[in-house]
C-alpha cells in the first residue's frame, strides 16, 4: 500500500537510501536532511513530499520524494526514488513512480522531472524512466563530475 | 568597480530587479527573499553570493547572484544578473558576468550554468550568453509554462 510517509518510516527510508547502491554519502546525507525538514515543517512549507510503499509488519518496500520547482508553473521534481534491495523486481518502483505522478498531477503539475546520471551505474535507472514513459529530454555534459553527465528526464502528465 | 554587495545596496538591487522588464512578480519577490537570506546568514550558509557594479555616488549599475549547485562537483548557478535600465549598453552586464565567472572559478567551479526562457522577450538575454561564450546546451520544452521553454546555458570555466 502506498501512503504518505510518517515519522516511523524515517529509519527505514534512511536505510534504503544507504543500501540502494546508487547514492553517494553526500546524497544519503541530503535525504536525511530533507526528511528532517519534512517532519519538522511539513511538506507544504519545506517543499518535499515523501511517500512510501508499506508491506507486512510496517516494512518499507521503497520511497519516493517529490516537490514543486521554484519559479516554474506546474513543474515538479522527483528528487528521490529508491526501492528496498530485499524487495526488488516486485514492481515497487513502478508503483511509487505512478503514485508520485498522480500526486503531483493532483497538485497542478504539468511536467514531472527526474534527473539522473549518464554513467553505466545508472543505466537501469535510465531504462526505468524510459519504460515509464519519460523522455531523456536534455543532457548537461560533465555535470556531476568530468565524464559524469546529467540526464534530465521529463514526462508531461 | 565590481564589489561584494553590502546591506546599503539592497534597495537599489530590488529596484533594478523590478525595473529590468524581464522578471515577473514572483521572481522579483524571490530576489528579495534570497537577498534577505544573504544579509542574515551570509553567502556561505545560504548559498547565494551577490556582487554589484557601483558607479558614482554609490549608484548600483547592476548586480549578479550566483551559488553552488547541490550534489554536483564544481557546478555553480548564475541565479540572477540584471543591469540598471539607466545604464545599459555600457558593458555592465559583461563585466558582472566575467566577475561572476572569476569568482566561482576561484571557489572551484568547473561549470557555470545560466537558465533562461526561450521566448522572444529573452532573445537579448540568450544572445548575451552566447556572446559571452556560453553554449545553449539543453532545452526543456514548456518548462515555465506552455510555449515557454527553459534554455540551459553552460560555460566550462
- Catalogue all structural domains in chain B, each as residue range(s) with its CATH number: 2-156 (3.40.630.30)
Residue numbers in B near A71 (CB within 8 A): 26-27, 30, 144
| Residue A8, min C-alpha distance to chain B (Å) | 27
What confidence tens digit (pLDDT) does each residue in B74-86 have? 999 999 999 999 9
- Cell numbers for A70: 521554484
CB B107 within 8 A of CB B115: no
Residue numbers in A near B154 (CB within 8 A): 140-141
- Measured CA to CA in angstroms, residue A97 lies from A24, A39, A51, A101 at distances of 22, 22, 10, 6
pLDDT at B15 over 90: yes
pLDDT at A95 over 90: yes
Residue numbers in B near A139 (CB within 8 A): 137-138
Q: What is the pLDDT of residue A83?
A: 96
CB-based contact A72 B137, cutoff 8 Å: no
Instruction: Considering only the beta carbons, identify the residue of B27, B140, B144 that sits closest to A137.
Output: B140
- Phi, psi (deg, nearest 5) at residue B77: -105, 135
- Cell numbers for B150: 527553459
Return d(Cα A148, Cα A141) in angstroms, integer: 7
CB B146 within 8 A of CB A74: no
pLDDT at B92 over 90: yes
Q: What is the pLDDT of residue A87?
A: 87
CB-based contact B71 A30, cutoff 8 Å: yes
What confidence tens digit (pLDDT) does each residue in B44-60 have? 999 999 999 999 999 99
pLDDT at A88 over 80: no
Return d(Cα A100, Cα A94) in angstroms, integer: 10
Q: What is the pLDDT of residue B88?
A: 73
What confidence tens digit (pLDDT) does each residue in B97-132 have? 999 999 999 999 999 999 999 999 999 999 999 999
CB-based contact B143 A72, cutoff 8 Å: yes
Average pLDDT for residues A34-59, to the nearest whole number? 96
What confidence tens digit (pLDDT) does each residue in A102-155 have? 999 999 999 999 999 999 999 999 999 999 999 999 999 999 999 999 999 999
- Measured CA to CA in angstroms, residue A112 lies from A25, A73, A116, A125, B147 at distances of 26, 12, 13, 16, 17
Residues of A with CB under 8 A from a CB of B: 26-27, 30, 70-75, 110-111, 113, 137-146, 150, 152, 154, 156
In which band, very low, low, confident or very high, does the pLDDT at B90 lie, cut at 50, 70 and 90?
confident
Residue numbers in A near B150 (CB within 8 A): 72
Return d(Cα B149, Cα B116) in angstroms, integer: 8
Amino acid at each position: 500500500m502506498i501512503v504518505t510517509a510518517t515519522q516511523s518510516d524515517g529509519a527505514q527510508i534512511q536505510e534504503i537510501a544507504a543500501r540502494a547502491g546508487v547514492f553517494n554519502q553526500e546524497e544519503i546525507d541530503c535525504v536525511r536532511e530533507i526528511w528532517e525538514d519534512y517532519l519538522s515543517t511539513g511538506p507544504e512549507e519545506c517543499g518535499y513530499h515523501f511517500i512510501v510503499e508499506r508491506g507486512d509488519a510496517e516494512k518499507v518496500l521503497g520511497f519516493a520524494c517529490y516537490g514543486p520547482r521554484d519559479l516554474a508553473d506546474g513543474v515538479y521534481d522527483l528528487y528521490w526514488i529508491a526501492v528496498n534491495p530485499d524487495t526488488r523486481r516486485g514492481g515497487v518502483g513502478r508503483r511509487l513512480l505512478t503514485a508520485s505522478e498522480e500526486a503531483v498531477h493532483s497538485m497542478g503539475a504539468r511536467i514531472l522531472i527526474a534527473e539522473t546520471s549518464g554513467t553505466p551505474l545508472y543505466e537501469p535507472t535510465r531504462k526505468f524512466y524510459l519504460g515509464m514513459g519519460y523522455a531523456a529530454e536534455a543532457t548537461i555534459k560533465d555535470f556531476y563530475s568530468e565524464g559524469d553527465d546529467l540526464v534530465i528526464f521529463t514526462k508531461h502528465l
